DNA sequence: CGTTAGCACTCGCCTTCAATGAGTGCTAAC
DNA sequence: GTTAGCACTCATTGAAGGCGAGTGCTAACG
């Protein structure tokens, strides 16, 4: 059973219409469109075929048809027409992202905001994954009697620090020495390897160093691992209310609760961190709660390294074409900004 | 027109019942209570009096009565019976707060969580207000060719840092000198005064220092000011759905949107930062959107200094007595934890 | 005079029911 | 292969009516 060209055209028309309105579309509505010159009866026949092929679904006996997951998949893969972003949108992204350029986190926040504003969906942004970046240097600074600040400088220019309470006072030269030892061991390694290297490489060192370093490492491991929840920034969580099909309090509540368990979102995004783009439609998601939601993600880079990802989540009937171009442009913009902000040519 | 003792008792009964159920309470319901020995007719008479006195309201002609803002105010000020927190609750708070004790922010997050869990309301927690704490030291550390980390150590033991891009490379001794000059100028001053002091005290210094310091200061001012939104942490934002009266999507949406504009919440909390406890009931709030919500706040201290506040926000019919004791206990716990965590006896 | 029983009345809420209309499938004709 | 026509389906809408919780008022009672 093959699909005719006209049927394909009708399918696309149905998807477009359904994405726009969220209401199952009927044959008569379609037949009135200017670009369709066949009668409603003909369309009905085609629709019946498409339904048989698994591309359309009927919510109930005499409602119109709505696209199935299979249809959306086809749409995303081949049918949809990705147009350029409008001048306004481009301007909006540029201004918003540049305006907020003072801290790394602000870029993340601004991205979330921009995405949700442009797409009218809930946006998810994952902060740069430090475990993917090579370390350049570790520097330990004495802050007060029992506190030191461990500063991690990464090759991309990102700087991260952790405040640590230490059991006893240490003097500055000792910390400097420690910094040097650590830096030597970890330079050009990624965090996971660096941790292993230090743990193993410590065997030969003095016992007093060892205890201190262990504590240092533990704290770091803890604060890195513990970041999973913190690393996910959301935008436009209320946007779901714009969709009539989520006017139901129960449904909306479910969705919003899902967003609160950021670990799930974190997993979704990290898992997608290797692909430039991913589109998960409805049941294609492994998570049952997401069975009628879609997630579209993209990644952003520093120096060619994919270090984080971002995307949107919403009803399956989202405007994939538009979202695709938005994500593409926003991703490119983030790259630009990060390169500029982090001054990544800095190779001291 | 004075209120009899029995009327007061009935009023309290009505408030208690309404807080529990959210349904306007009728005379018959009350007359069936074991602690009330008068007939429904008598109660009706009393209710009529209380309504005249402005303590009760009728949603519509033949519904039961519900408490007015005036009634809640009376309840909070004199009527309510604040009991001790249950052992379970105490244990819950202790465990949760202590479990999360690794970073200052975690304490804030944990507080938000604990509050929302215990109260079933949305909690708001304000991070420590750095502008209220005296500085101890400023330390500037070179991180890479064009980046320095400005570390602010406060008297309470809190440490805050800002990453700054600098126009040209500077050497370590210069930064050390700068750190010393700055520290000397700002020690024991609060941030606002410190800024003024540095701005004015710079007049005599070398031009080259001046430019650098100005940049430093600007960045700090920016990052402190810009914190307003970041400094507010929410918990249990979905809890509003537990209240039948907020089953209406429109209402819930309004509430949730309000929570998104964190600046408003920030203002509310900072304004309440001087009072150990505040209770704003319904229209007592200056913000019209909050006209049928109540906000209860408390403060937490470090070394006797009120440095932050936290509280809950929800429908006017909240369990003020319970909330009061929860806030009191949580406040005390935060103090303990902060003192311990920050090692505030550290007076280097 | 405070309290109580009784009764008519009000009004939101729920259920029922029929009308509406968008949409389909099928058949017969073009 | 396409179209017109027609009978049928079914969610949605709105009106009607019953239900019941609750009130206000009046009269009687101790």
pLDDT per residue over B202-223, tens digit each? Answer: 666 666 677 777 777 777 767 7
The integer distance in angstroms from the CA atom of B241 to the C1' atom of D19 is 29
B222-247 core/surface letters (b: 16 or more CB in 10 A; e: else): ebbeebeeebbbbbbbbbbbebeebe
B103 and A CB contact within 8 Å = yes
Look at B227 and A322; give whichever has higher pLDDT: A322
**Residue B310 vs residues A47, A84, A176, B109, B232: alpha-carbon distances, Å:** 58, 47, 40, 11, 9
Q: Tell me if B97 sits within 8 A of B110, measured CB to CB.
A: yes
Give the pLDDT confidence score for residue A225 in this predicted structure.
62
Question: What's the rounded Cα separation, in Å, for the pair A20 and A14?
Answer: 10
Q: What is the pLDDT of residues A201-255, one digit of tens each?
A: 766 666 667 777 777 777 776 776 666 667 899 999 999 999 988 888 888 888 9
A51 in Cβ contact with A59 (< 8 Å): no
- Closest partner residue to A139 (CB to CB) among B141, B146, B163 is B141
| B260 in contact with A, Cβ within 8 Å | yes
Please say if the pLDDT value at position A100 is more than 70.
no
Question: Cβ contact (<8 Å) for B219 and A141?
Answer: no
- From the list B223, B232, B206, B203, the residue with the least C-alpha distance to B295 is B232
pLDDT category, B115, cuts 50, 70, 90? Answer: very high
Interacting residues of A29 by C-beta distance below 8 A, sequence separation 6+: A17, A64
Helix, coil or strand: residue A288: helix
Chain B residues touching A159 at Cβ < 8 A: 143-144, 147, 149, 163
- A197 DSSP β-pair partners: none
Contact predicate A202/A209, CB 8 Å: yes
Least Cα separation, residue B89 to chain A (angstroms): 23
Does B172 touch chain A if contact means CB atoms closer than 8 Å? no
The closest alpha carbon to B265, from B329, B320, B312, belongs to B312
Q: Which residues pair with A164 in a beta bridge?
A: A148
User: How would you list the strands of the sheet with B135-144, edge to edge?
Assistant: B135-144, B147-154, B159-165
Length of chain B: 348
Strand boundaries in chain B, DSSP class E = 56-57, 66-67, 122-126, 135-144, 147-154, 159-165, 232-235, 277-281, 293-302, 305-315
Is the pLDDT at A15 greater than 90, yes or no?
Answer: yes
**Other C-beta atoms lying within 10 Å of the C-beta of residue A59:** 10
Q: Which of B190, B132, B115 is nearest to B306 (CA)?
A: B132
* Bases of strand D lying below 7 A from some protein CB: 2-5, 8-11, 20-26
The yes-or-no verdict on residue B190 having pLDDT over 60 is: yes
pLDDT of residue B231: 85
The residue behind tokens 């696309």 is A12
| Separation CA A204–CA A138 (nearest Å) | 20
Report, in angstroms and rounded to the nearest whole number, the Rg of chain B calculated over CA atoms.
Answer: 26
- Interface contact flag, A102 B139, Cβ < 8 Å: no
Q: Which residues pair with B235 in a beta bridge?
A: B123
Of all residues in chain A, the one with the smallest CA distance to B340 is A165
Q: Is the CB of B2 under 7 A from strand C?
A: no
Q: Which of A128, A184, A197 is nearest to A160 (CA)?
A: A128
- pLDDT confidence bin for A308, thresholds 50/70/90: very high
DSSP state of A285: S
- Within 8 A by CB and 6+ apart from A132, the residues are A190, A273, A305, A306, A307
A41 touches strand C (CB under 7 A): yes
Average pLDDT over residues B269-296: 92
Residues A145, B223: C-beta atoms closer than 8 Å:
no
The pair of structure tokens assigned to A119 is 């797409």
DSSP letter at B303? T
Alpha-carbon distance A132 to A308, whole Å? 9
A295 vs A258: CA distance, rounded Å: 13
């Amino acid at each position: 059973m093959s699909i005719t060209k006209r049927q394909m055209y009708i399918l696309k028309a149905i998807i477009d219409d359904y994405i726009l309105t969220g209401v199952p579309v009927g044959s008569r509505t379609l037949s009135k469109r200017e670009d369709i010159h066949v009668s409603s009866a003909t369309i009905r026949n085609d629709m019946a075929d498409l339904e048989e092929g698994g591309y359309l679904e009927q919510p109930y006996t005499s409602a119109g048809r709505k696209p199935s997951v299979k249809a959306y998949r086809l749409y995303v893969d081949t049918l949809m027409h990705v147009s350029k972003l409008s001048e306004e949108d481009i301007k909006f992204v540029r201004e918003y992202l540049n305006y907020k350029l003072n801290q790394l986190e602000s870029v993340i926040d601004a991205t979330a905001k921009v995405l949700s504003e442009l797409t009218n969906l809930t946006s998810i942004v994952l902060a740069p994954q430090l475990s993917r970046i090579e370390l350049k240097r570790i520097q330990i600074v004495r802050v007060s009697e029992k506190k030191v600040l461990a500063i991690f400088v990464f090759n991309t220019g990102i700087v991260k620090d952790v405040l640590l309470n230490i059991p006893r006072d240490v003097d500055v030269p000792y910390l400097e020495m420690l910094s040097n030892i650590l830096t030597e061991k970890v330079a050009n390694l990624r965090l996971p390897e660096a941790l292993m290297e230090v743990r193993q490489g410590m065997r030969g060192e003095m016992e007093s160093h060892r205890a201190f370093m262990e504590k240092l490492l533990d704290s770091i491991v803890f604060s890195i691992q513990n970041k999973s929840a913190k690393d996910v920034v959301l935008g436009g969580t209320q946007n779901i209310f714009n969709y009539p099909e989520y006017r139901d309090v129960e449904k909306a509540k479910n969705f919003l609760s899902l967003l609160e368990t950021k670990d799930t979102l974190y997993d979704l995004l990290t898992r997608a961190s290797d692909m430039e783009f991913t589109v998960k439609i409805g049941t294609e998601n492994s998570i049952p709660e997401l069975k009628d939601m879609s997630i579209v993600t993209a990644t952003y880079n520093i120096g060619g390294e994919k270090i984080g990802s971002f995307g949107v989540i919403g009803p399956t009937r989202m405007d994939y074409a538009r979202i695709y171009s938005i994500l593409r442009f926003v991703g490119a913009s983030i790259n630009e900004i990060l390169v500029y902000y982090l001054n990544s040519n800095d190779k001291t």
